[in-house]
Amino acid sequence: MIDILSYGLMILGIVFWFWGTLPLIGKRSVLFKIHSLSVADTLGSMSIVVGLLIKIPSEWSLLLLAIITLAIWNTVLGYVIAYCSSNEDLEIQMKD
């Protein structure tokens, strides 16, 4: 039963990865594409790591560190991208 749950979470993570890649071919803004890709990649990666945590609980400290790092890194990266894009908009408005 644990193997089924573990592999199910890993497969769900891979599905999230592909699901996040699909908006890249759409006609939305670049920021929307990056946001959807980063959210789906974060959820997919965390799902895979939780699947590994269930499969090999002896490595819980490293896998928990990976989950926390994924959450913090992708949140900070999202804020950096938003900040950088807002500064470009302000510079363009100032020039006009």
Q: Which of 7, 91, 4, 3 is nearest to 47 (CA)?
A: 7
Could you report the per-residue pLDDT of 6-35, keeping only the tens digit for each? 999 999 999 999 998 888 888 888 778 888
Is the confidence at residue 95, as pLDDT, over 70? no
Mean pLDDT of 29-42: 83
Distance CA 2, CA 93 (A): 56
Q: What is the mean pLDDT of the chain?
A: 84
**Polymer length in residues for the chain:** 96
φ and ψ at 94, to 5 degrees?
-70, -35
CA angle 57, 61, 67 (to 5 degrees): 95
Residue type for 53, please?
L
The whole-model pTM stands at 0.77
Distance CA 54, CA 56 (A): 6
Mean pLDDT of 38-51: 91
Q: In this structure, what DSSP letter does residue 25 have?
A: G
